[in-house]
Amino acid sequence: MRRGFPFGFLAILGLVLTSLVVSACAGGSGGDDDDEKKPTYGEEIEGVYPAVMTIVKDDCSPENEGESEDWIVEIEQSDDLGTAWVRYTRPGSGLDAVELFKADVYGTVVVKAAIASYPAGNGCTKFNVQNYRVKIDSETLTISGALSDDIFYQGAGCDSSSRDCTFERTIEPAGVGD
Whether 174 has a pLDDT exceeding 50, the answer reads yes
Half-sphere exposure of 86 (CA within 13 A, CB side): 28
What is the per-residue pLDDT across 3-47, written as a single tens digit (0 to 9) for each?
Answer: 555 545 545 545 444 554 444 444 444 444 444 555 567 889 999
Whole-number average pLDDT of the chain:
83
Cα(63)–Cα(47) distance, integer angstroms: 33
What is the per-residue pLDDT across 64-105, written as a single tens digit (0 to 9) for each?
Answer: 999 999 999 999 999 999 999 999 999 988 888 899 999 999
Q: Do 126 and 146 form a contact (C-beta atoms < 8 A)?
A: no
What's the length of the chain? Answer: 178
Q: What is the pLDDT of residue 152?
A: 95
Q: Do 41 and 105 form a contact (C-beta atoms < 8 A)?
A: yes
Q: What is the pLDDT of residue 59?
A: 92
Cα(92)–Cα(72) distance, integer angstroms: 10
pTM here is 0.72
Q: What is the pLDDT of residue 38?
A: 56
Cα(143)–Cα(51) distance, integer angstroms: 7
Q: What is the pLDDT of residue 166?
A: 95
